[in-house]
Amino acid sequence: MKTFQVPISYRSPLISAVKEKRRMADKMKKDFSPTLLDFGPVRIYLARHFGFCYGVENAIDIAFRTISENPEKNIFLLSEMIHNPQVNEDLQNQGIRFLQNPNGEQLISFDDLQPGDIVITPAFGTSLEIDAILKSKDIHTEQYNTTCPFVEKVWNRSGQIADKNFTVIIHGKPGHEETRATFSRAASGGPALVIRDMEEARLLAAFIRHDRDPASFFKIFRDRYSKGFDPSRHLERIGVVNQTTMLASETQGIADFLKQEIRNHHSRKGQPDESVFADTRDTLCYATNDNQSSVSSLLQTPADLAIVVGGYNSSNTSHLVELCEQRLPTYFISSEKKILSKEEILHFDLHQQQEISGTRYLKGNKPLNILLTCGASCPDAIVEAVITRLTGFFANSLSVEEMLQQILTSSQSHPGI
């Protein structure tokens, strides 16, 4: 498997040892049970899979290598490399400037770019329209393209089904960089539409059945359909792809629902046809699946609370939080710095979309059981720092260094270390 050069500051001796031990015991990655780190008065259960995925490591490798190989050039990123504040701050400290913010708002005008400048495409990819602007300025991004290969897989699959006259339905967050890029490419090949969730899938089904006035479609899905979209014609044959960081189960649920709706529609017309829905299961990202499956297994463990670490604008991380919130008190933090004391934690509330203060969060059984995971763009070093911070509040707790030595010397097989 390809390896990447990632700054050592993002690595963690503890987390690396845990991951290697699990990898050796489960090379086929079929065991999603958590890893127990028993520090004595506090026990931390780590999700089986978490942290940097292939696409993120690839993007970081290219970005930092570009910096080291081009010390005299202006280097820009189209937008945030990944949705992790530490990584983006590190890149800016190295001299990289962002052309846009995550919402697509311009920070530096494309008119300021000069031939010879370097523009890095982030892991989310970019739209055909922005590609065209850069090419018109004689700026070529091929060498500096960090688009995740699994995002490109979605683009390719969208193109394939569009070529067969299917309308591409994209399950994603409409403002997200990846969804904007996928929509741009899907819309270049035929009709395309972005839907946010199952609620919008149900609204869409009414147009598939011709139960609603087509004119209302354009208000409901404003700014999310391709040019010339005609709901009376373009919802007769569809296929569903997704923003790769969405909940895999939700994407599959939406696809199954719309598949049944469109087949029922054709059956009522006396035209039952198996070819009215395109099979697109293979667009689900492996890392998203693994991380979400790991959290589902993690939640089978009795615990007092869960902590999820990652960027607050990280889509894949937010879905891990949603899964945990269904079962127990959950705290979404960006780093160990948000753990202010044993009594107070600053955490992000997905519903209020703001950071709030939580008090007496470390309450429960003795020993205290904590479930811990992070998003695909969170460095392992931050996870270790969170563990160090938490265990430091408990007298007679093992240190992280002592736990590392136990892992390195123990012959005990998983799930305990």
State the catalytic residues: 178
* Cα 124 from Cα 240, distance rounded (Å): 19
- By CB atoms closer than 10 A (0-12, 13-18, 19+), residue 409 is exposed
To which H or E segment does residue 54 belong?
helix 54-69
Q: Which two tokens stand for residue 293?
A: 């499956």
* Cα 340 from Cα 362, distance rounded (Å): 12
- Cβ atoms 287, 281 nearer than 8 A: no
DSSP state of 100: B
- Cβ atoms 407, 44 nearer than 8 A: no
Distance of CA 367 to CAs 41, 66, 79, 119, Å? 5, 47, 44, 51
- Cβ atoms 383, 309 nearer than 8 A: yes
Counting DSSP H helices and E strands in the chain, the numbers are: 13, 14
Distance of CA 382 to CAs 10, 78, 374, 377, 388, Å? 8, 25, 9, 11, 10
Q: Which two tokens stand for residue 23?
A: 């990898």
- Cβ atoms 391, 404 nearer than 8 A: no
Written as one letter, the residue type at 4 is F
Q: Which two tokens stand for residue 198?
A: 């199952």
Q: Where are the beta strands (DSSP E) in 139-188?
A: 167-171
